[in-house]
Amino acid sequence: MSDVKTLATVWLDGCSGCHMSLLDMDERLIELSSQFRLVYSPLVDCKTFPEHVDVTLVEGAVASVDDLKKIRKIREHTRVLVSLGDCALTGNVSAMRNSCGVQLVMLRVYEQNADLQKQVPTVGVPALLERVRPVHEVVPVDVFVPGCPPSADTIYQVLSELLAGKVPTLEGVAHFG
């Protein structure tokens, strides 16, 4: 089976809705499953990103230093990088904090709205970037799939074409929101 491609999915700053939509392909996942091997994903157990991946679907925006480190490494080891959904494409809800700045958000969440132990966490959690950024502002992206989330039909179309070695185009097919 030389045609079996390696597939990875990553979850940066998003709500996991795009992954839910991916699972919403239902039985079509089984249909496609003979064509790919899922090597890295929040849905599987592998902890390190493999050396070479054919297709990586990225959900979420780049919001923390950890996201930044991850996406750079992923880009380096991925042949076709797919921005999946509005957060990866536009920043979407994740980037709504950009208008007021990260300090204010921290203050609001961990001090003003907290009842106990009011403190901004610094240990064991990655620092947030001053600005949430769409994936393509950080690394080059090959395929853009808009939608919040992109429908299962759209993801099926994208995935089928990618696994067939084609570069899908979503122009005129899917829009933001």
Partner 1 sequence: MSAEPNVRTLTINGEEISARSDQTILEAAREHNIAIPTLCHLEGLSEVGACRLCLVEVKGARRLLPACVTQVAEGMEVTTHNAKIDRYRTMILELFFAERNHVCSVCVANGNCELQSLSLQLGMTHVEIPYQYPQLPVDASHPRFTVDHNRCVLCTRCVRVCAEIEGANTWGVMGRGGQSLVITDLKQPWGDSETCTSCGKCVQVCPTGALFEKGRAGSKVRKHPEFLPYLRIMREGEQP
User: Which positions lie near partner 1, rule CB under 8 A?
Assistant: 83, 86, 89-93, 95-96, 98-100, 131, 134, 136-137, 141, 144-146, 148, 170-177
CB of 129 to partner 1, least distance (A): 13
CB of 132 to partner 1, least distance (A): 9
Contact 95, 132 (CB under 8 A): yes
Q: How far is CA 112 from CA 99, 103, 104, in A?
A: 19, 12, 10
Distance between CA atoms of residues 145 and 139, nearest Å: 16
Distance between CA atoms of residues 99 and 97, nearest Å: 5
CB of 14 to partner 1, least distance (A): 11
Most distant CA pair in the chain, distance: 57
Q: Which is nearer to partner 1, 39 or 91 (CB)?
A: 91
Q: How far is CA 78 from CA 23, 51, 71, 115, 133, in A?
A: 22, 8, 10, 44, 20
Q: Which is nearer to partner 1, 68 or 173 (CB)?
A: 173
Q: Which is nearer to partner 1, 31 or 137 (CB)?
A: 137
Contact 71, 30 (CB under 8 A): no
CB of 114 to partner 1, least distance (A): 24
Q: Which is nearer to partner 1, 38 or 102 (CB)?
A: 102
Q: Which is nearer to partner 1, 37 or 136 (CB)?
A: 136
CB of 170 to partner 1, least distance (A): 5
